Every structure is written in C-alpha cells, then in structure tokens.
Structure 1
C-alpha cells in the first residue's frame, strides 16, 4: 500500500500529473474537486466516509464501519474534532481527512503506520512511503543519518525518527500533519500517555478488551488470518485470541536449531490445543538460514531496514501465507517492551515510593545480577533527557558494559569498525540534537523506554510489511496498536512486576483464554545458535560485501577492521547487534537506484 496526500491547493493538480500511473490506481478528491488522496491499496484496506464537504479515510486495519465513520464525521467542524475518532477506533491505520479544505494526515503511535512529507513546487506533500515521494523529486542522502543507522541498539530518541533523506521529514511521535490550503504545513500533538494509576485487577479487563479488538480489527477484513506460533508467550497468546473469533487461522513457526530450546515444546502443545487451525512448521530442511541474503538487492528506498538476519525468513513467511490465502499475518512484536522491568522501571518505582518498592528492587537486582553500584544508579533521579543524550555522545566508543547501562534508554554504541570521521559525525549529530533540549516521550522513564521500544518495533513491522507487499501480505503487530499501548501504560507501576512471574498484566488479562502451560513456564527460548550458524555459513557473502562496501566508499567504516571482525574464528557476542546494523545499512545502500548513492548532501 502506497499513497500520497495532497493539499487543497492549485499545485495539487500538477503534482498529481507527475505521479506514475501505478500510483494513481485510487484517486479521492477534496470537496473542491482537486486530487486529495492518491495511491494504490487493496479494497479491503480502506474505509471511507463523507459528510458534506468533509472526507475521512482510514487505511490499514480498523475496527469500525463506513456508517460509524460517517456518523462521526458529521459532527466534525475542525481537525481537532477528529482526536476522538483517533483515540477510540481499534486497529492500526493511517487516518487521512479533508475538513474545509484543511488536511489531517497521521499514522499510528508505533509508526507501523507512518507519515513522511516534503516540499514539492513550494507546497508540502505527504505520503506513507518515502518511495512515493521519490517519484516526485530528487532526494539526497544525509550522511549523518546513515552513520547514525550504524549504532547498536538504534539511534536514541529523537534521532531514531529522522529520515536518511535531507528533503524528507517524518511526522513526530504522537503528532499529526496539518496541510493548509496555502501549501504550508505544521505538526500538532494529539496524544499524551495516560497516568499509570490502575491496579492490575482493574487494568486487566481493559487490556484484554484492547487486545481482542486489535485482533478483531485484522480478522474483520478477511475470513482467514495468519499468525506466528513460536511458543513464546506473545505470539502464542495472539493465536489463542484469534482462535476465539470466527475465522480460519493459519499458524507458522520456525523450528530452532537448538534442540534445548524450550519454545519448540510449548509450540507443539499449543498446536495440539488449536486443532481447528492449520499449522506450518519450518524445520532445518525448509527454513532459510539467518543472514541467508545479506547481499539482497530488493530493499526499498525508505531507509536502512531495522533487521537483515531474518529477512529471508520474512520473505518465506509472506510467500507461504499468501499461498494459503492470508493477507494479514500477526506477530508478537511489542509485548516484551510493554512488560519491561529494567533500569527505567526500577527508577520509576523508586522515584514514586522508594521504601515501598525496596522488595521489588531487590528482586529485580537479583534477577539481573546487578552490582550495588548499578542498583544505586538505577534508583537515583535520572538527569534531564538532553543532559543524558549529550553524555551518551561523549561515551559512544566505550566498551559495552551491560551492567552499567543505566539511563533513559540502552546506551548507544559505535561499532568497532567505524572510522574516526564516521564516529565524529555521529557524536556531533547527537550533541547538536541535545542542544535543542528534546523532551522524552514521557516524563516517566519507564514509559519513555516502553514508547521508544514501541516505535522501534513499529519500524520493524513497517519494514516487514514492505517485504510482504510483493505477496500482498501485510505484517501486523496487535500489541503495538494505540489502544493496546494505552491500556498497558495505564497499569499502576508497582503492579507491573511480580516476583517469580513473567508479564503479569498479560497473564491477568488472558488467563483462561490462553492455556496455563504457556503462562506458567519459567524458561525463555532464543535463536543464538541459529544466528551463529547462519553467520558462519554466509561469511563469504559478508566478506564480499566488505570488499565492495558502499559504507567504506562513504568513509564511514574501515575496511580492514570490518574484515578482521568477519574473519575472527570466535565471533565476539558484543558485535552481533552492530554487525546486524552495518550489514542492513550496506545492503540498503546497494539497493538504491543507479547513481543515487552519489547524490550526497
């Protein structure tokens, strides 16, 4: 799905005429008759409403009807009146409206649905994909953002939402874009996090309802839905929620190479407990290896993908789901982050009630094996966000120390193969951002970290959907939906952690729907062995990328040091995340249209 949003301005006709024919399969108009919303999307991915001169479209997965939308639109007098619709409708969608010639365009909080914008013929034009805007104007790479994409753990807020193209901006978190009839534009905030004041007993019902309606928003669009069934609590829970709805369920899971992975056994029991679903298992003979295609050449121009190791697997899932009639495939992204109980959580409960939270702090310290020094850093007040961001810039090249990473976010780290010039570019970009005194996503550190992770997972989902688009499959993450995120944030902080229990909010909400063997487990699986085996078997491709590196040509990484890391007999675990980032960025640069990688700003 790709679309362009045009202002109610005379230039809109000119911009419309410049779009390729395939981008004009669907064309909706302002009340004035000028083109407004132009693009290509499946018929079941759009819900349209009209009332007098006003128009409203939801693109994606939404739990509403045209009649309900029209009734709401009839009460709208200006763009702010649409806040209520944006805050009440379940699902994950773009909201695009034209009210009195003024346009509102927004995505989801997670950015799984995102809005980008640029200036064309002196007016602001928006789109859900940068590739659509690239059809209308010349774009130049922003080297500093390319360098930022090499950081382990992703760039810190707000640098993680910046485009790698100088001419393109993204709409900031919790804001919508207003396109005025004179061609100007401005961003307006429409959402703020709720106060965490609901005890878990009261919050569980709201979280359950939000999750059920999130799944219903996908299943309501089709009689069949796909879902991961990894054996983990998150994706497995979604399968059981989907099974309670009137539709055909197709599940898929990747069998781990590690015979000791406990999630395979849980997944097997879950499959038996879902006899009416169709189950697909990818074993070692049918599953793509991790890093199977780091040298792929079909990534879109939006920006470096947030993952590359599992790209071939995502293609496999989309292809298989399409062959089974699935157009929407659910994944469990976001649940871990909504249940996070790390350093930011400890800080939040300590600031609210240090004495009352000592028992939980001691339990978390024991579970995470923190030193007394780390625990003290976690409970004392964090510095202002801008101060923390500037401090991170000064410590970018420090050796990763997972015990001491206490702050608003995981401390960003430079890969050891970055050049001195590349490192300085990242450092100055962060320092410049810190000088603007950016505000955190929430004044509560735990909420900031949860929301930052929601945004990162949204980017993963958006990238996966771009991969799935060639098979007409959309990847969906119900845990990232606005209403689900709100319900999770509303839980009282002291109730978010229970000693000896994993994800108490999820368990309280879905106990009875999801079997006890899923929730009562005490182990967690991982794909470490798959990662190392995939790396080993695909080293030749990685080394070829190193020898022909675009990042080396841009002066951002040192070929010799990168070659040395790839040639190491025993790979350093600390390099897994930065290696993923570097290979993803390298692969993306190789996929740019001919000549575009020379158009540096």
Structure 2
C-alpha cells in the first residue's frame, strides 16, 4: 500500500501529474483538488465524508464507516480529531481534510510512518519514502547512514531522521498539519500517561485493548494467521485470535537447539487450539538464518533492522498466502512493554530507595554489577542532552557493564567502523545534544520503553516490505496505540513481581490463555540457529566484505570487517553489530541495482 498526501493547494495538480500510472486511486478535497493519490486494498481503508470534511483510516481500524462518520461530524478542525486517534483500536494512518487543512499521522510505534518533502513550492507527504522518490531525486545522508552501524539503534532523536537529505520523518507522537498555503509543520498530539494505574484496574483495560487490537485484524477476513512460538507473547495472541469468528492458521519455526523448551509448550498449545490449522517449519523446510545475505532486492526505504531472518519472514508470508491469510499476527512489543531493566530499577529507586533494596540486590546479583555500577543505576540520571553529549565522546569505547546504565543502552560503533564514520556520528550527536532535545518521557524507564517500541515499529515496517509481494501484512497488536497507552499507565511498582514474568500481561489474560503459558519463567533463544546460518552462508558474507559499499563510502574498514567475519567463533558482543552492518550492505546493494538515488 502506497499513498501520497497533497495539500489543498493549486500546485497539487502538478504533483499528481508527476506520479506514475500505477497510482490509480485518487480522493479529492472538497475543493476538487487531489488530496490522496495511490494504491490501497479496499479492505484496508475506511473513508467517510461529512459535508466539506473528509477522513480516511488506512490499515486495521476497529471501527465502521457509520461510527467514524458520527465522530467526524462533531469535528470542526483537524485538532478535534484527537479523540478518533485516541479511541480507535488497531494500527492505521489517519488522514483528514477539514476546511482546507490536512492532518496526516501514523502510529506511536512508527510501524506506520509518515514522511514528507518539498516539491513545486508545497510540502508533500507519503506513507513510504519510495513514493516521494517517484517525485524527486533523493540523495543519501552519509552521517545518518553511519549511525545505522551503531549497536542497538541511533539514540533519540537521531532515530527520527531519514537517511535521505530531502526527506523529513514525522516525529514521535506528532501529526503533520498541512494548511492550504502549502506549508507544513508537526503538531504534538499525544504525551505518555502518568504510571499511576494499579494493576487490578489496568489488567482489565489491557485485556480490552488487546482483544480489540486482535479484532481489528480478524474482523476483515475469514482467516487470520499467527506465530505460535510457544512464548507468552505470540502464543497469547493465538488464543485471543481463536476467540474471533475468523479461522486461525498458526506457524512456528522448530528451533535447532535440542535444549529449547519452546517446542514442547507450542505442541501443547496446538492441542489446545484444535480448531486451528497448524504449520511447523523444521530444518528441512525453514530457510536458514542469513540465507541470501547478499540479496539485492530489498524494497525498504531505509537500512533494514535485520537481515538474518529476512528469508524466514518471506517463508512465513508465502506459506500464509497459500492458506488464504492476508494478515498475520506477531508478538513484537510485548517484551518492551514489560521491560524491567536498569531504567526500571532507577525509577523505583528514585521513588523509594529503601523500598527498592530487594529489587536492587536481586538485579545486582543477576547481572553481576559492581558496587560502583549499582550506585550509578540508583542515582538520578543526568539531563538527557548531557547524557547524549557524553555518549557522543564514547562511540569507539568497547561495550561493558557500565554502558547499560543511562537513558538508553550506550551507542557504540563496532571495531570495524572507520574514524570517518565515528566523526560523522559524533558530530551528528553533538549537534543534536546542543539543541537540548527532550526525551520521549521525563521518566527514563518510560522513555526506554518507547524507544524500544519504535525499534519494533521499524521491524514491522521492514517485515511488511517482505510480505507485500505475497499480499500478507505482518501485524503486531502489542504495538497498537491503545495497547501502548494502557501498558504505560500501569503503576511502576506493579510491573515487577519476584519470580514472575510479565505480571501485568498475566493478570490481563488469565482465564483466556492457559496457565502453563502465562506461568512460564523460561525462554528459548535462536543462538544455535544464528551460528549455523552464519556458518552456512559465511562465503557470501566474505564476498560482501570484499565488495563492500560501506567501505567504498569510507564508513568501515574492510580489513576490520574481514577479521570479524573470519573469526571461528565471533564475539557474542559483535553478533548484533555484524547483523546491522550486513543489513546496511544488502540495502546499499539494492540501491545500486535500482540506480536511482545518489550518494553525493
């Protein structure tokens, strides 16, 4: 699905004429000028109008045209559409035109993004950068590309910046206001709730939000797909989906680790979902990790968050499509909503150091913190801009326990990053810090949760570029705005219970999801699969190193990258950075094939 949003301005006709013929659908402002141009499935849009006012929800919105019309009729300005955004379950773009003013917004997680550029004297917005690339030539910003080599992700708010110089990404929790004069500006419409709701009140609200989120996907088709890994997150979604009227098709990848405990739990869950069709991808049918790391067909607008599982995601989309599935549920975001790491310990200690001593001791023992590190965790963090300044000067420091402590995991460049790349990233971070950026929440643990949710939104965006050729949309109900707001409103003290995993989610789903899933305290991982896939495809990775576009741009050392790939058993701390570097390489190879955007 691609669409371009145009202001109610005379130049809109000129911009529309530049779009290729495949942008077949057009909706107009009340004035008759083009407003929305693109391609979208009929079941992926709810469109209503009330006199001169119009609104479209693109995606999975748990509402009807009649319900949306009633709400639109009450709005006199685009600002008054906040209630629609706040109260509609699902994940969608909201685009409205009222009195010549346009409002365009995506989701809080960024799984549905909004991007804009200037053209013909006006601002043009779109849900995909590729749509803007049809209208003008785009040039690569090397400093932002270099930041994608960082372990984890670029720090906030560098995460909000596009790798294209001519493109602006809509900031977190904002909508884009486009007046009839052709200008545009982001407007803040949402702030994180105060974490004050007791779990006994929050749990029913979270359950309601999750049920509505799943219903938003299941209500538009006769069959829905879902991951059934055996973990709490995706497996819980399977049981929620089983309560809908849609048929359920589940899929899981059998792990190579003989000690994994997910398979037995998943097998038990399959027996408890007898009305569903279950598919298991074993070692003979599942694509290995890092299959085709040298691919040149990535349609992503930006460097992707991963490359190891790309072929597996395509396997899932292909299999789901063959069973009539168009929407597939995944558990992205649940871990992040329930996060109780260092920033959570800090939040509890700041409220009551004495009351948090038990938690601090337990965390210190589990993570083997020194006394100095423990004291850094419990004392007040510096202002965000100060933390960002300090982090900019430590980009090439090796990661250690101390780097866990702060507003975010400390951004670190891998050993094979060049000094030129470090200088570019350092300058970008320093310039940003000089503007005194405010965190997404004044409470560090809430900021960290939101940052991680934005990473998951990025993952979902990429997954959908892989699923799109098969007609399959990957859906993450835990990333829906209403689910996020409810989870963030839970009282901090209720989010952690010694010996329990995700107590708030457990309280919300008890009675719907079997106890053997909710009471799990173990979790399997993909380490064996990752190393096996790396070994199988190492020759291709080495060829990528020798032909490295990143090295040609001066952003990495070819020798350093070669050494990291040639290690018999790579340092576990390098697995993530290697993934990021390989993903950037594959993306740059795809750009070279497209021969469109320029790097200078």
Using structure 2 for the length normalisation, give the TM-score. 0.99
- The answer for the alignment partner of 1:544 in structure 2 is 543
| 2:496/2:502 contact within 8 Å kept | yes
Give the match for residue 18 of structure 1. 18
Q: Find runs of 4+ consecutive structure 1 residues off by over 3 angstroms.
A: 593-598
User: What displacement does 1:523 show?
Assistant: 1.1
Equivalent residue, structure 1, for 2:583: 584
The structural deviation recorded for 1:75 is 0.8
CA distance in 1: counterparts of 2:580 and 2:455, whole angstroms = 13
Give the conservation status (yes or no) of the 8 Å contact 1:301–1:592.
Answer: no
Answer whether contact 2:300 2:462 (CA < 8 A) is retained. no
Correspondence list, 1:385-404, <5 A: 385-402=384-401, 404=403
Aligned to 2:345: 346
> 1 CA distance for matches of 2:378 and 2:254?
40
Paired residues of 1:140 and 1:596 also in contact (CA < 8 A): no
Superposed CA offset, 1:451-488 (max 9, x none): 00010000100110111111111100000000000110
How far did residue 354 of structure 1 move? 1.7
Secondary structure of residue in 2 paired with 1:518 = helix
Distance 2:521 2:195 in 1: 27
User: How many angstroms does 1:221 deviate by?
Assistant: 1.2
Match of 2:57 in 1: 58
Instruction: Describe the superposition over 1:521-559 as per-residue Cα deviations: whole angstroms up to 9, x where unpaired.
Output: 221100000010111110011011111111011000111
Q: 2:216: which partner in 1?
A: 217
Superposition pairs for residues 421-440 of structure 1, below 5 Å?
A: 421-440=420-439
For the residue of structure 2 that corresponds to 1:8, the secondary structure is coil
Secondary structure of the residue that 2:49 maps to in structure 1?
strand
Residues in 1 aligned to 2:592 and 2:27: alpha-carbon distance in whole angstroms: 30
Gapped runs of 5+ residues in structure 2? Answer: none
- 1:163-202 paired onto structure 2 within 5 Å: 163-202=162-201
How far residue 593 of structure 1 moved from its aligned partner, in angstroms, is: 5.0
Kindly state the Cα deviation for residue 310 of structure 1 after the two structures are TM-superposed: 0.2
1:230-309 correspondence runs (5 A):
230-309=229-308
Indicate conservation of the 8 Å contact 2:137/2:596, yes or no.
no
The Cα shift of 1:367 comes to 3.1
CA distance in 2, matches of 1:543, 1:593: 19
Encode CA deviations 1:296-337: one digit per residue, 9 max, x unaligned. Answer: 111125100011000000011111111111110010000000
Q: Which range is displaced more, 591-600 or 343-352?
A: 591-600
Question: Displacement, 1:372?
Answer: 2.2
Structure 2 vs 1, CA of residues 43 and 598 (structure 1 numbering), >3 Å: closer, same or farther?
closer
Equivalence for 2:101: 102
Q: Residues 233-289 of structure 1: CA distance to partner in whole angstroms, max 9, x if unpaired?
A: 100010011111111000000000101111111111111111111100000000011
In structure 1, what is the Cα distance between the partners aligned to 2:159 and 2:148?
8
Residue 318 to residue 147, structure 1, CA distance change in 2 (3 Å): same
Asked whether the 8 Å contact 2:460–2:476 carries over to 1, the reply is yes
Query: Post-superposition shift, 1:399?
Result: 1.1
Residue 164 of structure 2 aligns to a residue whose secondary structure is: coil
Q: Residue 453 of structure 1 aligns with which residue?
A: 452
Question: How much has 1:133 moved relative to structure 2?
Answer: 0.3
Change (3 A) 1:6 1:457: same
1:348/1:444 contact within 8 Å kept:
yes
**Inter-partner Cα distance in structure 1 for 2:582 and 2:262:** 28
Distance in 1 (alpha carbons) for counterparts of 2:147 and 2:595: 19
The Cα shift of 1:113 comes to 0.5
3-state SS of 2:22 partner: helix
CA change 1:44–1:480 in 2 (3 A) is same
**Residues of 2 paired with 1:572 and 1:363: CA distance?**
27
Q: What SS does the corresponding residue of 1:21 show, helix, strand or coil?
A: coil
Using the TM superposition, give the Cα deviation of residue 597 of structure 1 relative to its aligned residue in structure 2, in angstroms: 7.7
**CA drift at 1:419:** 1.0
Cα contact 2:296–2:593 (8 A) shared by 1: no
Structure 1 unaligned regions, length at least 5 = none
**Which sits farther off after the overlay, 365-374 or 524-533?**
365-374
Q: Specify the alignment match of 1:479 in structure 2.
A: 478
* Other-structure match for 1:3: 3
2:352 equivalent to 1:327: no
The equivalent residue for 1:312 is 311
- Secondary structure at the aligned position of 1:4 is classed as strand
1:81-120 aligned at under 5 Å gives the runs 81-120=80-119
Checking the alignment, whether the CA contact within 8 Å between 1:374 and 1:404 is kept in structure 2 is: no
For 1:496-515, list aligned pairs within 5 A. 496-515=495-514
How many residue pairs get aligned? The number is: 600
Question: What's the CA shift string for 1:21-43, capped at 9, x where partnerless?
Answer: 112x2210000001101111111
